[in-house]
Structure 1
Amino acid sequence: MRIIISPAKKMQVDTDSLPIQALPDFLPETERLLTALRAMSPKELQTLWKCNDAIAALNVERLADMDLRSGLTPAILSYEGIQYQYMAPGVFEAGQYDFIQERLRIVSGFYGLLRPFDGVTPYRLEMQAKLAVDGCKDLYAFWGGKLARRLAEETDFVLDLASREYSRAVEPYLPKTVRLARCTFGERQGSKIVEKGTMCKMARGQMVRWLAENNVTKAVDIREFHDLGYHYDPAESGENHCVFIKGA
């Protein structure tokens, strides 16, 4: 089993808490993206990033000084979004770190596919960014089937806990020999099941923590997740779709 999750926009540097174990596998591709970004003007970058002046200025400065090979933070500690807050990897136990290093993969517009202890530096580049590189119109075309092929080399089952923006970089390219199961975390509103962005992020992070704490390696056991008030709904679920409903 491999679990895919999204990155977060907000990042930090932490070179002290835990050591990195390797450089990212797709670093040559990252270097090409860095070259393309550095060739853009600050105004073009801000348009690409869709951010305010302060965030743009911070990331223009990051680009100028970016070193992809030293002063790095383990990927799992570098992201600060809600999903990562609920995952709380900083207080994992040793066996849980081993679990996520083997099974968890972060899909990144800049780095491609990251193991938790790959060394990264803060960047800003969402997968849906319209960055044309190497004759490719955007990052989905740039990464193509590379990320799916790497996952297919490692497993025949992918648990998709990523947002659609990031799962789109993997799902269409997986061979038929690899099963992908998507999770929905929602609430009933009348006859509909509604997903709420913040609650989904919380649940995805909590599920990664639960999977690691319980050493879950079989698809069928994912249904036992019941944290944060969620429970598995077999009537709404399918073979490759696990639906968890919050509340009664």
Structure 2
Amino acid sequence: MLILLPPSEGKATGVDGPPLELGALSLPEVTSARQAVLDALDALCTGPDATAREVLGLPPGDRDALERDRALSDAPTLRAADLYTGVLYDHLKLPALLDGATAAAAASSVLIFSGLWGVVGPADRIPPYRLSMGVRLPPLGPLGAFWRGRLTDLLTKRADGELLVDCRSATYAAAFKPAHPVSERTVAVRVVRETADGTTVRRTVVSHMAKATRGAIAHSLLTAGASPTTPAELADALNDLGHRSELTPPAARNRPHTLTVVE
């Protein structure tokens, strides 16, 4: 089983680990691509502040993000498990998973997508940064397309025989879109809230709470040592773990199954 996650916009601070070592990150095959993104980001951030803010989508008062992005090559690092914060990661509790009996499963099962690094594992050491997959970074262009061209073959091989539990947002899903036959073993997680008014039951898609639920189901699967190999087994496992889940088959070829988790 592979759990595909987005990063978080929020990052930990107070970092004091060793400097970045690009070649030590997971998927060393894309080291040159990571260097290309680093170089492009450095060129952007050492240019006019106004241009960098516009490209990166930074608010006018956020000076820290630019300063961090200007010094990434020599910046101190920490594990990705400790770097990413926010609702999804609060519920995933990745540091505890990586430091306990579930360490091997967490290290081998979790892939975190990133506009800067492409994909990292939870134990990879990286510095705090600001670069969304949705950015059009000169001269590389849209980062989703840039990384899709470099990750698709690698991740298709990595996914051979594995069930993919896709907890990414649309922005990060752009970097890897599993095609047939991998798509037949891919499940996109959707979260809805169910409310009742008399005899009428309504379902609404939630956004902020969806992050919490995706983190919670990933935590449950890893803590329980679950190893589903098919979408149906995944739905059964989550229902057994207390997450009300409903599986819908793909609407077309090259599309994933949809797993609806009902809150």
**Same structural fold, with TM-score higher than 0.5 when normalized by the shorter chain:** yes
Secondary structure of the 1:32 match is helix
Counterparts of residues 87-126 of structure 1 (less than 5 Å): 87-92=92-97, 93-126=99-132
User: Which letter does structure 2 place at the counterpart of 1:5?
Assistant: L
Counterparts of residues 27-176 of structure 1 (less than 5 Å): 27-40=31-44, 41-55=48-62, 57-67=63-73, 71-92=76-97, 93-134=99-140, 137-156=141-160, 157-171=163-177, 174-176=178-180
Match of 2:253 in 1: none
Question: 2:114, 2:133 within 8 Å by CA — same for their partners in 1?
Answer: yes
Displacement of 1:161 in angstroms is 0.7
Match of 1:177 in 2: 181
Secondary structure of the 2:181 match is coil
Match of 2:204 in 1: 194
Q: Kindly tell me: are residues 200 and 227 of structure 1, through their superposed partners in 2, closer, same or farther at Cα, counting changes over 3 Å? A: farther
Gaps of 5+ in 1: none
Percent identity over the alignment is 21
Displacement of 1:89 in angstroms is 1.9
Question: 2:110, 2:122 within 8 Å by CA — same for their partners in 1?
Answer: yes
How many residue pairs are counted as aligned between the two chains?
Answer: 235
Question: 2:90, 2:215 within 8 Å by CA — same for their partners in 1?
Answer: yes
Asked if 1:242 corresponds to 2:259, the answer is: yes
Match of 1:222 in 2: 234
Q: Distance in 2 between matches of 1:153 and 1:143?
A: 16
Gaps of 5+ in 2: 251-256
Q: Kindly tell me: are residues 226 and 175 of structure 1, through their superposed partners in 2, closer, same or farther at Cα, counting changes over 3 Å? A: closer
Match of 2:25 in 1: 23
User: Which letter does structure 2 place at the counterpart of 1:23?
Assistant: L
Question: 2:144, 2:171 within 8 Å by CA — same for their partners in 1?
Answer: no
Q: Distance in 1 between matches of 2:152 and 2:203?
A: 29
Question: 1:33, 1:133 within 8 Å by CA — same for their partners in 2?
Answer: no
Cα RMSD after superposing both structures: 2.6
Secondary structure of the 1:60 match is helix
Question: 2:78, 2:127 within 8 Å by CA — same for their partners in 1?
Answer: yes
Asked if 1:3 corresponds to 2:20, the answer is: no
TM-score, normalisation: structure 1: 0.84
Secondary structure of the 1:4 match is strand
